[in-house]
Structure 1
Amino acid sequence: MGYAEKRTGKDGVYYRARYKIATGKYGTVQDATGATIKYRTKRDAEQAADDEEAKVRGGTWRDPATGKVPFEDYASRWYAAQDLALSTMETYKSNLEVHLIPFFGEMEIGAISAFDIAEWEKEERAAGWAPSSVKGWRSNLHLILADAVDDGLRDTNPATRRRGRGKRAGRAKERGPEKVITDPLGTLLIAERAALLSGRDDEFVAIVTKYYTGMRWGEIVGLETEYRRLRSIRVEWQLYELDSSELHRCPPKDDSYRDIDTPAFLSRLLSDHIARTGPTPCTCHGRTYVFKGLGAANGAARRPGAKLVDVARRAGVSTGTVSNVLNHPDRVAEETLRQVRSAIAELGFVRGAAAGETAPHWRRNGFATWLFQPAATGWYPKKAPHDAHPVPVLAEPWPGVPARGRNASGRADSCWMPIAKGLTPHGMRHSHKTLMRGLGTPPPLMDDRLGHLDGSVQARYDHVTREMRDRLLDGLTAAWEASLDARLALCPRSPVAVLDELLRARARKVSEPHRGVLGIAR
């Protein structure tokens, strides 16, 4: 049995609760910080001692000394014991080093309270971090403290939220903005603008592919040519960008291996793209990828290469004439066209690669910031020393070609209007789900394409059929053709070569009279 030990201190008489841990070994009841609890009455001390001794006999007692391990030490051991995907390990490492250890590092693991966590959250929000980010870091903290409970270092997990605690009905302070999506025509226009910004067709094909397949960013970047099938795309790998900027080839998220059916128009678009670009194995992975990065590779700026001015001097024309040959050959006389192309062949000039080789892969931030965002919103982001500003464009040909170089804004005629302000590359995945929903696609087929897993009992009895797949492909084709018709109504031509050919082919098709079996017009 526990007992009360009478003591006298500067505050007067009090009692300590003493309980038996083992033969010849007694403990004193303490609070969460490790301080001895001083009871005002003998009865209260005896009752507390009996409760603690009952825990010892029941095997649930925890030695208060075990909770004195610093959070940083325990978190370091906890991280070292994890064996997860490389991307998850990178995330945990960043969470610990940047957000958790700086605040909780020196605190004893057993002394961390809910009030400490609330104070930490308040500081993170005051620093300007997004509520969704803070929520993710708290989830990581909750996981660590839950393991500390299992290891006997704590009795409870202070990071557990009590449902509805401190909230008013109808008020959700952490609610983020609604996810922005777009439709088939918006996708076509954004893809066209992105191609104009990059100066090539690759971005057009990639954005259209992303919208009509719902593939994740890493799956698009990591799409290898051998997995681009005749009527489908096999998702077998992704390229995940680590904090070190290294691209790690790894399985798709949550092992979502799958075959994505592709409409005939998308299959042709990808086949033509591969034939046009002639991809070769990259130096970082030794694999051949469907899409290649934009811009110079690391260190490429120091490598020699023929420049636009070199071609102009060789051909005896101005740089503007060379630019017209590359962008608007129909505006150049046949003899001048021959001279410039001859100079290009003699000097080995490669458009966009005068400074050296092109980067083997897109980078998520660069693609979103300098291609996708300006295409969707019509604005370049803020980049010191320049503030955010509209994309300056030359009005002809429609929809306007971005003006580049010195005094680009002064030479521009206009700027682009927003198509989908706030849209992100990941938003194209949401857009694909919304498109499928509008086409009446069954949930199991939507999950199958997006790589989602429905663990409900209902899903066990729901299966995908060939008829479902065919109906979806017909719907996607109809949406694509409708977007081409709408774009054709805006302007019959495009400065983007691949889209220009699509528009001309569509114009020919819709202008042809419908004929019966015997070729008689109906």
Structure 2
Amino acid sequence: MARIDQHVHVEWRGNTCRVKWWSGEYLPNGRKRYESKGGFTDEDEAYRHGQDKLYEIRHGIHVSNRDKSTLMSDWLDDWLSAMNYAYSTEVAYRSRVEAHIRPYFGRMAIGDVDTLAYRLFKKHIQETVGPATAKNVLSTLGMILDDAVPRLIKVSPVERVKRRGKFEKRPKERKRDVPEETVEVLARNAKVLLGEPGYVLIWTMAMTGMRPGELFGLTREYCYPNWPATDPRPDPAEGDRYAEDLERYGKGAGLLPAIRVERQAQRTQRVKGAEFFPPKYGSQRTLVIPPFLADMLESMLASHSSPWVFPTYRGRCHAAGDFNSTYWYKITGGADERPAGDGVRIPRPAIPPVPEFRGKRMYLLRHSHKAWLDEALEHSRFAIEARMGHEMGGVEGIYSSVTVPMERAIMKTLQQRWEGLQERLAKTDDS
């Protein structure tokens, strides 16, 4: 005996019954498309199940059996093709998917990726790769599964709050105070490898907090003493800012020496060499620099003809190569002397290691810059965060602005640090 209404059908097959319900869709031949579930031993229970499915369909929360059976591999293809991020971010996501996520889930249906399946993958990836990589892979998988809701799955199986298992404190990168003496050793090591641009590169990062890609992508027209007179002014809507920059920054009496962060350079597969992108989080900004660094930059730019402010020996962009492997690991870890002869094209003296930075990222120079400004206890928090390229929320972020006195105070603090270093070095030399 079958129980039938307009959209739900219950029928017995042997000792169990099956419920069918209209999915709200039509087949190509115009007939209604039905979904079904069998195995019920109670007709009322089966009927209620069909009614529940109709409720979900009416309220837009239903996931069809066909959608739940979508293969993870197919969904990964769709998700990757719809990405709209910065180039480097898309490369990172694609790498995690192809190296870890797709091989693991293979031909599994997305509807079968429940909480237990997610936990098993989490355990697998944490046992397979390092903690930083595992964290990034799980973050990417979380976005992939979140985006499958509600079309392919009702809810994401990703557990946002740990509810079970032993407590594990998140590892945090250990940071040490970075005195000016340490930066000076790094700068001298960089000078051995890259000449004067290497020395100025290190001090520019320490005194501005610029990100590596922003430093590598810095070209003459955005650097003191040329900027802002040489600003390309590509955006007509920024006309007021361009005019104000000429009144506030530059070389001359009453003007503030500054660098304009307008873009970053990254290595890509689309072009040979480096390609320009907006800075991270769209953090275009103007960075005033202390007088000693302004003099360094002016002298260094007069010494070479490359369009890049900090070029390689061949005048190219550092972002086109692997700066860490080629230079940074030697700058921090030291290197043996390379005397002339035996095919050595560029001889060099031994490079001493810098224990405080051995195995550390170049990015920590950016962190130390903020710490130096924080230590002064006199600078506007808004001015510091704006200098770092960070957006501040709340009332402070809405109403605050960076004023000339704030910028002059920052310049003074940084200049004093340099002058204090020179006094200590002079005493050391005298002794």
Shorter-chain TM-score: what band? 0.7 to 0.9
Residues 21, 215 of structure 1: alpha-carbon distance in 2 compared, 3 angstrom cutoff: closer
Q: How does 1:125-274 map to 2 (within 5 A)?
A: 125-127=126-128, 129-150=129-150, 152-159=151-158, 161-168=159-166, 171-172=168-169, 174-180=170-176, 182-196=178-192, 198=193, 200-230=195-225, 231-242=257-268, 246-274=273-301
Paired with 1:465 and 1:143, the residues of 2 have a C-alpha distance of 40
- Given candidates 296, 313, 316, the residue that maps to 1:360 is 316
Paired with 1:465 and 1:363, the residues of 2 have a C-alpha distance of 33
Paired with 1:453 and 1:413, the residues of 2 have a C-alpha distance of 43
| Superimposed CA distance per residue, residues 225-269 of structure 1 (whole angstroms, 9 cap, x where no aligned partner) | 111134000111211123677411122112111110011110001
Q: Would you identify which runs of 4 or more consecutive aligned residues in structure 1 move more than 6 Å? A: 405-408
Gaps of 5+ in 2: 25-30, 226-256
Paired with 1:112 and 1:100, the residues of 2 have a C-alpha distance of 12
Tell me, yes or no, if the aligned pair for 1:215 and 1:450 is still in contact at 8 Å. Answer: yes
Residues 21, 414 of structure 1: alpha-carbon distance in 2 compared, 3 angstrom cutoff: closer
Tell me, yes or no, if the aligned pair for 1:3 and 1:50 is still in contact at 8 Å. Answer: no
Equivalent position of 2:242 in the other structure: none
SS at match of 2:126: helix
Amino acid at match of 1:446: I
Report the CA distance between 1:454 and its aligned residue.
1.4
Equivalent position of 1:19 in the other structure: 21
Paired with 2:332 and 2:390, the residues of 1 have a C-alpha distance of 27
SS at match of 1:149: coil
RMSD (Å) for aligned C-alpha atoms: 3.0
Equivalent position of 2:373 in the other structure: 436
Q: Identical aligned pairs, as a percentage?
A: 24
Residues 487, 80 of structure 1: alpha-carbon distance in 2 compared, 3 angstrom cutoff: same
Residues 415, 454 of structure 1: alpha-carbon distance in 2 compared, 3 angstrom cutoff: closer
Query: Paired residues, what number?
Result: 381
Q: How does 1:12-161 map to 2 (within 5 A)?
A: 13-21=15-23, 26-29=34-37, 36=38, 38-127=39-128, 129-150=129-150, 152-159=151-158, 161=159
Tell me, yes or no, if the aligned pair for 2:186 and 2:332 is still in contact at 8 Å. Answer: yes
Report the CA distance between 1:204 and its aligned residue.
0.9
Gaps of 5+ in 1: 30-35, 281-287, 295-357, 379-390, 393-401, 494-522
Paired with 1:449 and 1:243, the residues of 2 have a C-alpha distance of 31
Residues 463, 88 of structure 1: alpha-carbon distance in 2 compared, 3 angstrom cutoff: same
Paired with 2:415 and 2:172, the residues of 1 have a C-alpha distance of 33
Amino acid at match of 2:140: N
Q: How does 1:336-415 map to 2 (within 5 A)?
A: 358=314, 360-363=316-319, 366-378=322-334, 391-392=335-336, 402-404=337-339
Equivalent position of 1:514 in the other structure: none
Tell me, yes or no, if the aligned pair for 2:21 and 2:35 is still in contact at 8 Å. Answer: yes
Report the CA distance between 1:40 and its aligned residue.
4.4
Structure number with greater Rg is 1
Equivalent position of 2:231 in the other structure: none
Report the CA distance between 1:157 and its aligned residue.
1.3
Amino acid at match of 2:260: R
Paired with 1:3 and 1:140, the residues of 2 have a C-alpha distance of 42
| Superimposed CA distance per residue, residues 1-27 of structure 1 (whole angstroms, 9 cap, x where no aligned partner) | 65654444xxxx444344344686543
Report the CA distance between 1:359 and its aligned residue.
5.9
Amino acid at match of 1:372: W
Q: TM-score, normalised by structure 2?
A: 0.79
Tell me, yes or no, if the aligned pair for 1:181 and 1:430 is still in contact at 8 Å. Answer: no
Report the CA distance between 1:70 and its aligned residue.
1.7
SS at match of 1:61: coil
Paired with 1:249 and 1:414, the residues of 2 have a C-alpha distance of 32
| Superimposed CA distance per residue, residues 194-215 of structure 1 (whole angstroms, 9 cap, x where no aligned partner) | 223x162221110000000000
Paired with 1:368 and 1:116, the residues of 2 have a C-alpha distance of 38
Report the CA distance between 1:77 and its aligned residue.
2.3
Residues 3, 254 of structure 1: alpha-carbon distance in 2 compared, 3 angstrom cutoff: same
Equivalent position of 1:491 in the other structure: 429
